[in-house]
Amino acid sequence: PPLTSPQRPHATMPHPSHVVVFGPESTGKTTLAGDLAAHYATTWAPEYLREYLERKGGACTPDDLPHVVAGQRASVARAAAQACRVVISDTDPLMTLVYSRWYYGEVPAWLADEVNASPPDLYLLLDVDVPWVPDAQRDEPGHRQELLDACVTALEERHRRYVWIRGTWDE
Judged by average pLDDT, the poorest of 18-22, 30-34, 138-142 is 138-142
- Angle CA(160)–CA(42)–CA(96) in degrees, nearest 5? 40
Dihedral in degrees, nearest 10, Cα atoms 81, 73, 33, 13: -20
- Answer whether residue 14 shows pLDDT above 70: no
- Answer whether residue 106 shows pLDDT above 80: yes
Question: In whole angstroms, how far apart are CA 18 and each of 90, 100, 132, 133, 168?
Answer: 11, 23, 27, 27, 25
Mean pLDDT of 115-130: 94
Question: Is-contact 93 65, C-beta < 8 A?
Answer: no
Mean pLDDT of 146-157: 97
Mean pLDDT of all residues belonging to the chain:
87
DSSP assignment of 91-139 equals --HHHHHHHHHHHHS---HHHHHHHHHS--SEEEEE-S-S-----TT--
CB atoms within 10 A of CB 125: 22
Q: State how far the Cα of 3 lies from the Cα of 10, in Å rounded to an integer.
A: 10
pTM of the model: 0.86
Helix (H, G, I), strand (E, B) or coil at 60: coil
Bridge partner list, 162: 123
Judged by average pLDDT, the poorest of 4-8, 142-146, 165-169 is 4-8
What local confidence, expressed as pLDDT, does residue 64 receive? Answer: 93
